[in-house]
Structure 1
Amino acid sequence: MSGGDLVELKFRLFDGSDIGPFQYPPTATVSVLKERIVSEWPNDKTVVPNSASEIKLINNGRVLENAKTVEQCKTPFDDDVDSVITMHVVVQPSGSKEKPERRTRQQEAPTNCGCCCTIM
């Protein structure tokens, strides 16, 4: 595979710092990218993923699926060969708290409102 066939990617972390850029073949999967991110994760960060399953990759507002290839994740605007594609990294530790119970509007509303409207 020639160097022109490779896609250059960098990964933007929550604090604005980057991992990369690295070159990947268009057939590389998102799960391969996540494994590379875990292996290259900076030591000085407070949030550290323990595995690739704790990472979500976002490109152009879309969360990327593990089975998708780099080529499938590219958008038409990414066709410039000389440009580096930036993907955003979100870390969700597997031991994080569960979602709080959702409350209904009736549960949130006070029982004695004390206000009223009069239309004349």
Structure 2
Amino acid sequence: MPEEDLVELKFRLYDGSDIGPFRYSSSSTVGMLKERIISEWPKDKKIIPKVANDVKLINAGKILENNKTIAQCKPTFGELPAGVITMHVVVQPSVTKTKSEKKIDELPKKTPCSCSIL
């Protein structure tokens, strides 16, 4: 792999800690980056993504799509010197109803209190 074909990336988590930096080929997809993030995710965090769709990568204010390659996102990265590019990681678990949410929905509706002040 030619040296100029590699991009050095690190991933900033919600608490300010980082995963990486790692070197990737320009042909690597955003989906591959997400899989690496999940495999390298610190076990001591309160929020842990389970699948790649739980993770959003943001660079220069844009959410990157899974099927895009790093080379296709290059205009987003801009013309940077040979430094490390930092991407922000947002964990957004898929929406599923938990048992507690179901219980709240199943509770009978209470009528509001009607008080009269004399």
Matched, 1:82 2:43: no
Q: What aligned pairs does 1:54-65 form with structure 2 within 5 A after superposition? A: 54-65=54-65
Taking structure 2 as the reference length, the TM-score comes to 0.75
Q: How many residues align?
A: 97
State the Cα deviation string for residues 74-116 of structure 1 (Å, max 9, x = none): 236643342111100000111466xxxxxxxxxxxxxxxxxxx
Distance in structure 2 (CA, Å) of the matches to 1:12 and 1:24: 16
Residues 91 and 26 of structure 1: is their aligned pair in 2 closer, same or farther, counting only changes over 3 Å?
Answer: same
2:109 corresponds in structure 1 to none
Identity within the alignment, %: 62
TM-align CA RMSD: 1.6
Shift of 1:4: 2.5
Contact 1:59 1:86 in 2 (8 A): yes
Could you list the structure 1 runs, at least 4 aligned residues long, displaced by more than 2 angstroms after superposition. 74-81
Q: What secondary structure is seen at the aligned counterpart in 1 of 2:43?
A: coil
CA distance in 1, matches of 2:11, 2:51: 16
Match of 1:7 in 2: 7
| Distance (Å, rounded) in 1 between the aligned partners of 2:40 and 2:22 | 11
**1:24 maps to what in 2?**
24
Deviations 1:9-48 (A, max 9, x none): 0000000000000001111000000000000000111100
Tell me how far apart the structure 2 counterparts of residues 64 and 48 of structure 1 sit (CA, whole Å): 20
* TM-score for the superposition, normalised by structure 1: 0.74
Residue 107 (structure 1) aligns with: none
CA contact (8 A) 1:59 1:73 kept: no
Would the alpha carbon gap of residues 13 and 96 (structure 1) be closer, same or farther in structure 2, given more than 3 Å must change?
A: farther
